[in-house]
Amino acid sequence: MEFLVASAIGVLTSGGLYLMLRLHTFPVILGMSLLTYAVNVFLFASGRLTVGAPPILSDATVYTDPLPQALVLTAIVISFGMTAVVVMIGLGAFLGSDDDHVDDPADDPVTADDEVEGTS
């Protein structure tokens, strides 16, 4: 079970990093979401993977740690807000420039040779 969860975290992380390196807004947003899911699964798995155990300390000898569950719940809310903000920033950039390309090429920079040629 641990190998399956670790593999899922690895796949989510690699997919998220791949999409974050794309040069368009929508894949970058999807990559951020995949990285957020990978972190959430990692936090959830850090509380021991126990099936059918209560999340509180009781007379049972096997229990599940409730702290990672609380951290994941908080991270889900924060990532939803972050995704909403990034989508609005991306939408504003797209509507302002009619292009969703993330890394705009710089305008033709003036080099030292051009300045020398222009002044002579």
For the entire predicted model, the pTM comes to 0.71
Q: Provide the residue type at 22 as one letter.
A: R
Q: Phi then psi for 101, rounded to 5 degrees?
A: -75, 130
Evaluate if residue 110 carries a pLDDT over 70: no
pLDDT for 53-95, tens place per residue? 776 666 667 777 778 888 889 999 999 999 999 899 888 888 8
Contact between residue 38 and residue 16 where contact means Cβ atoms under 8 Å apart: yes
* Total count of domains within the chain: 1
For residue 48, the domain's CATH number is 1.10.287
Model confidence at 51, in pLDDT bands (50, 70, 90)? confident
Mean pLDDT value across the chain: 81
Evaluate if residue 21 carries a pLDDT over 80: yes
Contact between residue 38 and residue 13 where contact means Cβ atoms under 8 Å apart: yes
Which residue range(s) make up the domain with 111?
Answer: 2-119
Evaluate if residue 16 carries a pLDDT over 70: yes
pLDDT for 23-39, tens place per residue? 888 898 999 999 999 99
CA atoms within 13 A on the CB side of 87: 8
